Amino acid sequence: MISLRDLQRDMLSFALGDRATAPGEWIVEGRLCADRRLGVYRNNAQIVFANAMQAAYPVLVRLSGEDWFNQTALFYQRMHASRSGDLNEVGREFADFLADTLQGGEHEYFVDVARLEWAYGRTLNQRAVGSPDFEGLDTITEDEYESLCFRINPTASLLESSYPTFAIWSSNQPEVGCPPLIRLNQGGSRILMIRRVDRVDVQELGPHAFALLRAFADGASLGAGFRSVIEGVGEFDLANVLGQLIGVNALIGLRRSAAGVSRVG
């Protein structure tokens, strides 16, 4: 008699498409053959997986069309079967899979849209932080500015794309009836995502604000971050950019050493 483990391996490999014929010797066929009976589970596995992928990547579905998306999702499933009983985990490696598949082609921009959508879903599943706390800011002396460090909102994610990914994503939300024409060569995106109590804010940052926030995320102090942005991007108004980052809740307080922020691109 086949062991339970071997039986499960045989059944699962058929359900996930690794093997073409069902392990029929252990299945009572009756009026339907084993392939047909096990085919129900294969069909279910594909539908459930495609539905979970559609839920994670709604903008990609809209951009690519349901047929292309479902077919691609099933190719992806063959290589990256679900690793959890929690369907919210399905699709974690999809952007990397698309990068391997679409690199250099006309749909290469799907990769960054996928990165944005996955990061959006992760951000949505985080708890919003309370109000910013800059108590003590007025007591800091000029001598301390150089070594000053900021606390970064732990729900913040940064994504940089050479495509206009923010425009593509925001123009393909359900409430937008007919998306405007977006030229893929119109310039890249620097995107910040932050969890608010009732939503996720997705917004574009200018090059200086993005570079400064990234520098802080990498552990830079105010002085070091300021210099790195000037060196990498150019002169800018530090007070104005800091005000912007505090205003969008990216910087939420002061600290002695900098904390990390998620990077998704």
Q: List binders of another protein among 123-142 (CB under 8 A).
A: 124-128
* DSSP 8-state class, residue 134: -
| Closer residue to another protein in complex, CB, 90/258 | 90
Identity of the residue numbered 226: F
Give the integer Cα–Cα distance in Å for 28 and 33: 8
Give CA angle at 255 (251, 257), nearest 5°.
105
Give the integer Cα–Cα distance in Å for 58 and 69: 10
* Dihedral pair phi/psi, residue 255, rounded to 5°: -155, 170
Name all contacts of 231-240 with Cβ < 8 Å and 24+ positions apart. Answer: 233/207, 233/208, 234/208, 236/208
Task: Rule CB under 8 A: choose which of 58, 62, 74, 87 binds another protein.
Answer: 87
Q: What is the contact mask toward another protein in residues 169 to 208, using x (rule: CB under 8 A)? A: -----------------------------x----------
Task: Rule CB under 8 A: choose which of 19, 20, 32, 117 binds another protein.
Answer: 32
The number of residues that bind another protein (CB under 8 A) is: 45
- For position 37 contacting another protein by CB under 8 A, the verdict is yes
Give the integer Cα–Cα distance in Å for 194 and 191: 10
Find the shortest distance in angstroms from Cβ 252 to another protein. 17
DSSP helix/strand/coil, 160: strand
Task: Rule CB under 8 A: choose which of 20, 21, 31, 257 binds another protein.
Answer: 31
| Closer residue to another protein in complex, CB, 31/183 | 31
Parallel/antiparallel/unpaired status of strands 251-255 and 149-152:
antiparallel
Q: What is the contact mask toward another protein in residues 38 to 67, using x (rule: CB under 8 A)? A: x-xx--xx--xx--x---------------
Q: List binders of another protein among 105-124 (CB under 8 A).
A: 124
Bridge partners for 173 per DSSP: none
Binding site for another protein (CB under 8 A): 1-5, 7-9, 11-12, 15-16, 25-28, 30-32, 34, 36-38, 40-41, 44-45, 48-49, 52, 81-88, 90, 124-128, 198
